[in-house]
Amino acid sequence: MDSDSTAPQRIAHREGRRWRLPAMPDRALPALAVALGYYLAAQLGFLLTLHPHPISTLWPPNALLLAALLLAPTRAWWWLLAAVLPAHLAVELQSGVPIAMVLGWYVSNCSEALIGAGLVRTFVPGILRLDSLRNVGIFILCAVLAAPLLSSFLDAAFVRMLAWSDAGYWDLVRSRIPANVLAELTVAPLILTWAAFDPSQLRRVSVARCAEFAALFAGLVLVSVAVFDRPAFAASPALFYLPLPFLLWAAVRVGLAGTANALALLTIVVIWGAVHGLGPFAAHAPKEIAHEMQLFLCAVAVPLLLLAVALEQGERVGRDAHEQRRQLTHLSRVAMLGELSGGIAHELNQPLTAILANAQAGQHFLANKSAPPGALAEILQDIIVADQRAGDVIRRLHTLFKRGETQFVSIDANELVREVLAIVRGDLVMRSVELVTQLGDTLPPVRGDRVELQQVLLNLVMNACEAMSAATPPGSRQLTVRTRIADGGARITVTDTGPGFAPEEYEQLFEPFYTTKPQGLGLGLSLSRAIMRAHRGRLWGSGSPGKGASFHILLPAFHAQR
């Protein structure tokens, strides 16, 4: 289908050259967005101005410009500052302000954003992310406090110099600071957190979480409107704290982004009420209204922002620690592969030998036409069985060594023991270790990550084998693996006939980097204990020198943990 808009393209093609939009510099689009945002923010600032004596309660354009500078590379700042000039002129000239004053305010507004962004960037190079207490602290000190304070001296000087107001210099300074501090506290974090938002995260948000967000913000708006947008006589100062549970809910459950959004909502509701003569602040004189309201909102915003980021930081530290433990656990498993390589080769070469010898025997029978009845069918069946055995070895190893998320499932402790013993079977044979298994009947199922529990058990078995290989003559090497019900759960005990340890040495064995092996890293048992803790289970050792060592795993029953 042709349309008018495609006509130039068709003409251009006919003329033998491509028609395209004139190239737009990379910075033009963000600059346009900032200019538009500045214009709308200024209009919002006017809407939230107290009348009849115009007192600004919240002045968002400066905070918006500051946030834009914090998100932009320093070399692009001049471009953004230039872009907001037309927006500034468009807003201010509409209200009949003389051009000199308009330009004076442009300079003071830009200076506020520049001071704030410059100071923040001095301490936090690069794009500011409000993801640590340090960064939020620097943001509050530099952008929220220092920038409005310092720029207000300049702003008041312009106003006095151009005789725009009769108010005294210090009165002008005092009245400008809170509106800008409040804007920096509420608007800038809102923009910075939205800029850091990754839309792909939305796919991972569950329906329950969405419902929680909806309940949180609906509750906050309802309560805030009920407290701050009712007639002044009906609003009690004691009700100021009604939105606090919702704000804390946002800080605890949604983090800094949720808190920034909640604070912005609260600020708009509170100021809208006051501007319209509603809420607990409306009973005061206009100047007091602005002052009290700004003080209240700042007093709420600062601790909440700090609380939210502290909680997020703590959660991230916990997540990082968990991830590091997971990586270390996986690395330790991979390192175990080296120790198991001999046994693995042994276990794979057995079925391969059977397959090859069977196939060659079959070739002989076919070449000589000498196959006994049914022999070829039997050979093929044996090849299939041997091949499946080799496949099982590889599958078990793949399961053990692949990297995956921890998955807690119901596990049969006896099955776990059998799986691990199948992996180490070759090693036991090679080390001339006699295996004794005493698996208890009717063990309760336990809850755990199969791979991690295999790793723990494998570590205990390999340690036992190494201890015996080093100090026990071949005929006396015996590994006993027992399972039984204990404390309502399942207990697995691995006992060797190695040299054992002194009773006081057992706890040392679980310390990181403590090892009795010449080539050991000393991480196996400490990681195993960490894994057992994550399973709400226990791992400990017992025995005495010369009588072998026993290591015990206690896993709580599956139902006990739900």
Residue 529 beta carbon to other proteins: minimum distance, rounded to whole angstroms = 31
Rule CB under 8 A: which of 393-422 touch other proteins?
Answer: none
Q: Which of 324, 349, 407, 438 binds other proteins (CB under 8 A)?
A: 349
| 364 is a site residue for other proteins (CB under 8 A) | yes
| 287 is a site residue for other proteins (CB under 8 A) | no
Task: Give the interface segment with other proteins, choosing from 53-61, 109-117, 268-276, 353-361 (CB under 8 A).
Answer: 353-361
What is the DSSP annotation of 444-507?
PPEEEEHHHHHHHHHHHHHHHHHHHHHHS-GGG-EEEEEEEEETTEEEEEEE--S----TTHHH
C-alpha distance from residue 102 to each of 32, 85, 109, 162 (Å):
20, 10, 10, 11
Q: Which of 434, 480, 534, 536 binds other proteins (CB under 8 A)?
A: 434
| 389 is a site residue for other proteins (CB under 8 A) | yes
What is the DSSP annotation of 97-118?
--HHHHHHHHHHHHHHHHHHHH
- What H or E segment, with its residue span, contains residue 312? helix 286-368
Task: Give the interface segment with other proteins, choosing from 11-19, 294-302, 342-350, 535-543 (CB under 8 A).
Answer: 342-350
Residue 497 beta carbon to other proteins: minimum distance, rounded to whole angstroms = 15
Give the amino acid at 541.
G
User: Residue 124, SS3?
Assistant: coil
What is the Cα–Cα distance from 128 to 69, expressed in whole angstroms? Answer: 10
Cα maximum dimension of the chain: 121
Q: Residues 80, 30: contact at Cβ < 8 Å?
A: yes
Residue closer to other proteins (CB basis): 340 or 531: 340
User: Residue 410, SS3?
Assistant: strand
| 299 is a site residue for other proteins (CB under 8 A) | no
Residue closer to other proteins (CB basis): 266 or 462: 462
Task: Give the interface segment with other proteins, choosing from 35-43, 243-251, 304-312, 380-388 (CB under 8 A).
Answer: 380-388
| 360 is a site residue for other proteins (CB under 8 A) | yes
What is the Cα–Cα distance from 111 to 77, expressed in whole angstroms? Answer: 12
Q: Which of 43, 132, 165, 350 binds other proteins (CB under 8 A)?
A: 350
Distance from the Cα of residue 490 to its chain's centroid:
34
Kindly tell me the burial class for residue 541, based on how many C-beta atoms sit within 10 Å of its own C-beta (0-12, 13-18, 19 or more): buried
| 292 is a site residue for other proteins (CB under 8 A) | no
Task: Give the interface segment with other proteins, choosing from 75-83, 355-363, 401-409, 554-562 (CB under 8 A).
Answer: 355-363
Task: Give the interface segment with other proteins, choosing from 110-118, 184-192, 361-369, 453-461 (CB under 8 A).
Answer: 361-369
What does DSSP assign to residue 557? B
Provide CB contacts within 8 A for 375, sequence distance 6+: 365
Residue 193 beta carbon to other proteins: minimum distance, rounded to whole angstroms = 59
- What H or E segment, with its residue span, contains residue 538? strand 538-543
Residue closer to other proteins (CB basis): 122 or 476: 476
Residue 339 beta carbon to other proteins: minimum distance, rounded to whole angstroms = 13
Q: Which of 225, 429, 439, 560 binds other proteins (CB under 8 A)?
A: 429
Rule CB under 8 A: which of 487-546 touch other proteins?
Answer: none
Instruction: Point out which residues bind other proteins (CB under 8 A).
Output: 342-343, 345-347, 349-358, 360-361, 364-365, 368, 370, 375, 379, 382, 385-386, 389, 426, 428-430, 432, 434-435, 474
